[in-house]
Amino acid sequence: MLSGGVYAVEAEEAGRVRTITIAVDRYGPMDQQARAALQQQLADAVKVLQAQANATRLIAKLVGPAVVHIEAEVLGRRALQHGAARPVEEAGSGILVKLAGKTCVFTNRHVIAGASPEKVRISLADGRIIQPLRIWSDPETDVAVMEVGVEDVVTAPLGNSDEVEIGDFVLAFGSPFGLSHSVTFGIISGKGRRDLDLGDSNVRLQDFLQTDAAINPGNSGGPLVNLNGEVIGINTAIASSSGGNEGVGFAIPINTFLFTAKQLVEKGTVTRAFLGVTLDARFDYQAAQQAGLQQLVGTRVVTVTPDSPAAKAGLQPGDIILRMDGKLIENDAHLITLVNMSEVGKEITLQVLRNGQMLDVKAVLVARPQNPAQG
């Protein structure tokens, strides 16, 4: 070695020996001044990381006391020989919130489905174990709300999931594998995830946030939190071939959760809006091009229900609905979700492509009849 990572190598070529100088990128000698400069650069970089670490610590301290561990004795899906269902223990997470003047726990329906209040145990961060007074749930969204009869508890602030953007930092709280009050860190990886196969959950109305924050069995029902310490989602599911975290987790946006939860608490049931169309699930890129669209957006109307809001608004089979209240429609499932998550009696504006012409169509939504196949 000549100096500071520079080497001289002798090589034989056609009977002659020649010297080749090679510079190797490696840690070489460093004088005190260079080391001091490097140390300062490191200190500056660490300050940024420490600020982030301090922020996550503060969020954990703020939200952690409101996170709960849930155990429920529910009826198993497989019957015994004598026809009785086998009781099984389900475990998950939840978050304490204030809703309609009540102290409630938000969680997933599949965590406590079929369990009566006396079969549910809620472990608080301070070690107390309580039971819910009432349980409400909605199978179409996997939403569950439990009213608890305690006031001396910390409740978490709720954010606005409509403001969430891909790339936002988030923290997931819960009890993975029974390890209560665990926290993981990640980002929002995607929005508007639909048509997911969630096994036995059978969630029809899907509009999930996707995150790479580690979500494992037991995290279901726990909060997904932004950097302001606000709940912006309720962790629901993972996409995994192993049953554990593989960097693809899903959460119900808190605005979607609240829309359902408020109705459950206030009136004990959920009334969903109805437009009155069936939609073409096979509407593809080729069909969009034939209609004059440059990209695959929107959804095509197949039939219009007589005397429905769609019929009264003048919608016709073959219409391609591109926007609802200015929001671009991605596919049939997207429109169905938007309609079902709208207030009954709301007037909506649909941008429609019909025979090459753009039209604005106004419709007043009514309560949905018992036919979930339509939007």
Write out the catalytic residue numbers.
110, 142, 220
Q: Which two tokens stand for residue 79?
A: 């019957």
**CA angle 81–82–85, rounded 5-degree value:** 85
Q: Which two tokens stand for residue 24?
A: 């190797």
Q: Which of 205, 204, 341, 331 is nearest to 279 (CA)?
A: 331
Torsion of CA 216, 219, 223, 227, to 10 degrees: -30
State how far the alpha carbon of 317 is from the alpha carbons of 273, 285, 294, 300, in Å: 20, 19, 21, 8
Q: Which two tokens stand for residue 39?
A: 């140390």
